Amino acid sequence: MSASTVTVKTRKYMTNRLLGRKQMVVDVLHPGKPSVKKTEIREKLSKMFKSKPENIFAFGFQTQFGGGKSTGFALIYDTLDIAKKFEPKYRLQRHGLFEKKTQTRKQRKEKKNRMKKVRGTKKTKVGAAAAKKGRNKPLFFLYISGSMVMGFFFSCSGDCQTILFSILQLYLVCCMYYPFHQLKIQANVFVLLCFIFCNYNDALNPPPPTNKTK
């Protein structure tokens, strides 16, 4: 055996029909080399078992004390779709088959706390934050003082028609003489701040609109 020869041997071979794969312990002999790349191990296993290299997942290799030999595990799936179904995400990511979603630290903490509230398989279905309770129905507040009418509209994004109807009502009460000054949109909730400076009597008893036609 030359110093550059790499020999791959398998033992404890088993066919797992439930998971659609063949699984085994792999011994790699590599005298004169510190270790062997997993891509090279996958290539040799693909020739031995007549399978595609992308269907083979080699992991958990440890080098024997003194070097020259490494031992690990290998899984040979029947198809790539079965591998994507049963392989953990971190191993799929190593093969370029899974892209990790980038999340902020706050989003990870919020998801962790939401997962604590459910049990079993429901933990995997916990996704984006749900809408807060009590905010499904639109809310309308109107404050009238001696010199100011101030209206607040709160509604979810699906209640745009209700917002427009409420704005139209307040606009008609103020006789279309006093425009809205501020509009803010925050996340999925519309927050409309209306500051309308008018007289209290004008708000309750608006004057008739002027007719400009001669």
CATH for 7-94, among 3.40.50.970, 2.60.120.460, 3.30.70.3370, 3.40.50.300? Answer: 3.30.70.3370
C-alpha neighbours within 13 Å on the C-beta side of residue 9:
8
Q: Can you tell me the mean pLDDT for 200-213? A: 52
pLDDT surpasses 90 at 20: yes
CA 50 to chain centre: 38
pLDDT of residue 134: 46
14 closest CA partner among 83, 74, 87, 61: 74
Give the range among 25-34, 60-69, 147-156, 182-191 with minimum mean pLDDT.
182-191
Phi-psi sector, 5: left (phi>0), alpha (psi -120 to 50), beta? beta
Per-chain mean pLDDT for the chain: 74
pLDDT of residue 166: 61
Q: Can you tell me the mean pLDDT for 73-87? A: 95
pLDDT of residue 131: 45
pLDDT surpasses 70 at 100: yes
Report residue 213's pLDDT band, with 50, 70 and 90 as the boundaries. Answer: low
List where CATH 3.30.70.3370 sits in the chain. 7-94
Give, in degrees to the nearest 5, the angle at Cα 129 between 123 and 135.
Answer: 130
pLDDT tens per residue across span 111-170: 999 999 999 988 888 875 554 454 444 444 444 444 444 555 444 444 555 655 665 566
